[in-house]
Amino acid sequence: MESTLNNNIGDLSFSDDLRRRITSNLDRHPTLIQKESSLRRAAVAIAIAPLENGQSGFILTRRGKNLKTHSYQYALPGGKIDDGETQEETVLREVQEEIGIQIEKENIVGYLDDYETRSGFAITPIVLWIPDLQNLRPEPGEVDDIFVISFSELFRPDSPRWVEIPESDKLVLQLPLRNRLIHAPTAALIYQFREIGIQGNLIRTDHIEEPVWAWK
């Protein structure tokens, strides 16, 4: 299931060169848009940010312990698109609310495929460039913790993992990050960004299954 088109990671330093490279790779990718009207719409951010060592990473959150759904799970910043909002407005609002970072539309680098979840959502991933993490802070109650995950974590020799389940013909994707396993839908979006944004490989996410416990 791993891409065989291009395994070149290249320089992952947080720089204008990396931003141009990711932007170019995303621009060459014709995104798949989920048009099914019965699905609830959501948008999330693949938020590219600098690490203290000058390298690049992305922001991952852990949801609040007391949330009614998917509590204490790892997630990308984002949420449900409110009536009258565009997907871009949703992402910028949620990033400010959930992690304290205020950015503008000019920080949007590109888009990935919509991902249809088992629970009835169509999630639009929007790639953001965040040059400054000075105001980074979790929203009390909504976000328990924030992590900036190095891109190098996406290229570990034990990643990705594909798991068969009896409930589906599709394979469940697991991404080992630090000492945790991240599953779809979050893992599917991160994996597609790894392949397209960083390596320039065109892959889709509609073949990626969620674990059964995430179907509700």
Domain ranges of the chain: 16-214
* Whether 190 contacts 180, CB under 8 Å: no
CATH of region 16-214, choose from 3.20.20.70, 3.90.79.10, 3.90.1150.10, 3.80.10.10: 3.90.79.10
At 123 the pLDDT is: 97
Tell me how far the alpha carbon of residue 147 is from its chain's centroid. 13
Cα 136 to chain center, whole Å?
Answer: 18
Query: CA 99, 101, 105, 109 torsion: positive or negative?
Result: negative
* pLDDT on residue 216: 77
171 contact partners, CB below 8 Å, separation of at least 6: 1, 162, 163, 164, 207, 208, 209
The confidence score (pLDDT) of residue 8 equals 79
Task: Of 162, 142, 178, 176, give the one whose Cα is nearest residue 211.
Answer: 162
> Quick one: which H or E segment has residue 27?
helix 16-27
User: Which of 69-78, 139-148, 180-189 ranks highest by mean pLDDT?
Assistant: 180-189
Do residues 26 and 197 touch, judged by C-beta distance below 8 A? yes
- Give CA–CA dist 128/107, Å, rounded: 6
**Helix, coil or strand: residue 87:** helix
pLDDT tens digits along 81-118: 999 999 999 999 999 999 999 999 999 999 999 999 99
CB 34 within 8 A of CB 116: yes
The pairing of beta strand 108-111 with beta strand 115-116: unpaired
CB contact at 8 A, 160 and 191: yes
C-alpha distance from residue 67 to each of 64, 71, 95, 141, 170 (Å): 6, 5, 18, 8, 29
Q: Which residues of the chain form beta strands (DSSP E)? A: 40-50, 56-63, 74-75, 78-80, 108-111, 115-116, 121-129, 143-150, 161-163, 171-177, 180-183, 208-209
* Residue-level pLDDT at 6: 64
Confidence label for 141 from pLDDT (cuts 50, 70 and 90):
confident
